[in-house]
Amino acid sequence: MEREILDSIDGAAMCEQTLRWSSINSGTGNLEGLARMASELGDAFGALPGDIELVDPAPVTAIAADGREVEVANGKHLVCRVRPDAERRLIFTGHMDTVFPPDHPFQENTWLDDDVVNGPGTADMKGGIAVMLHALLALERSNDAAKIGYDIMINADEETGSLSSAPLIEQLAIGKYAALTYEPAATPEGTLAHARGGSGNYALTIRGLAAHAGRNPQDGRNAVLAASAIALRLEALQQDDISINPAKIEGGSANNVVPDHAVLRFNIRPKAPDAAERFAQQLTALVGEVQQSREVDIHVHGGISRPPKPVDRKTQALFDLVRDCGRELGQEIDWKSTGGVCDGNNIAATGVPVVDTMGVRGGKIHSADEFMIVPSLKERAALSALVLGRIAQGERL
């Protein structure tokens, strides 16, 4: 890509854009704020030569404390399609939601020094969305832009697992040549996340039988004890390739009543697909054993929402391309494996090579100390633009 195009990326405009977006509360559950954010993004991405639409979220349910299955409302997801008939097509993803609800005290941007700003979502990942946009605008100013096409997906529920956008991610990712996702760099120095483990969230609803704790406890079937038994057995299933975290047991009523209901919530982190498959079989067997021994009914809700993301040959080639482009720009790009998960896991599950930490440098995300290193806006946009230019020119993975 022509150096003058990279030099023309406007870091000041990117910063102004990011801070304006950061001032819009778009916590995952704030549907009004998400709608406002989606409108802003629609206007911004309208500068690209593509068609924009807002896609309704897929239905999502959760288990309430009393064991009822309830619907979860989510915001709409933004999709932009550019040159859908191109032979070589890519996908770029980001998320407009943050972890900060409207009543959270962290709502304002504060400059910490000339190069660092503290603000909600600045790093995770409204700065990353700006990086994506301006990298693509730079691509469109190059002579090679017409050689590739791409889809952009900015979802509204990444921070809660992308449950309502997972089908959309899969649909858009299948068949793409490569993918870039704009989560913040894994370290303030700009390190990329390499291989990732997977993640799954479960809620087990246990239905027992109530009885008086003094008069006839033997007639009851204690749902809390059944949930506790499962939690202890889950701990014993941990191995080097999977961690299991029983996180919460809800249920019961008065102290003199044998509890007839309980909900056990837990998270698993498999490091490889075979670990996830093994756990699924073990959970089925465990639930069956406890149902029989405790004489309770158990309903399993949830599952793997982020498959493990190994790094295959093509994915490594994409990492190498990012590193080489970084060197051309004077940026040292390194990577490390991580236990965190993101939409890159979902993309990788379709067989598409992905680098998912192409966003800004910053840190302390998901806290009121979240910060963005402002010069990294232009720096990372130039990196992405150069990578895209190489792919447009025929770089093979």
Query: What rounded mean pLDDT belongs to the chain?
Result: 97
Residues 6+ apart with CB under 8 A from 289: none
pLDDT in tens, 84-113: 999 999 999 999 999 999 999 999 999 999
Q: How many CA atoms lie within 13 A of 52 on its CB side?
A: 16
Each residue of 1-53: pLDDT tens digit? 789 999 999 999 999 999 999 999 999 999 999 999 999 999 999 999 999 99
List of domains in the chain: 3-197+309-392 (3.40.630.10), 199-306 (3.30.70.360)
Checking if the pLDDT of 326 tops 90, the result is: yes
The Cβ of residue 142 has, within 10 Å, a number of other Cβ atoms equal to 18
- The pLDDT of residue 132 is 99
In tens, the pLDDT along 217-271 reads: 999 999 999 999 999 999 999 999 999 999 999 999 999 999 999 999 999 999 9
Q: At 328, phi and psi to the nearest 5?
A: -60, -30
The C-alpha atoms of residue 284 and residue 249 are separated, in whole angstroms, by 19
Burial of 354 (0-12, 13-18, 19+ CB in 10 A): buried
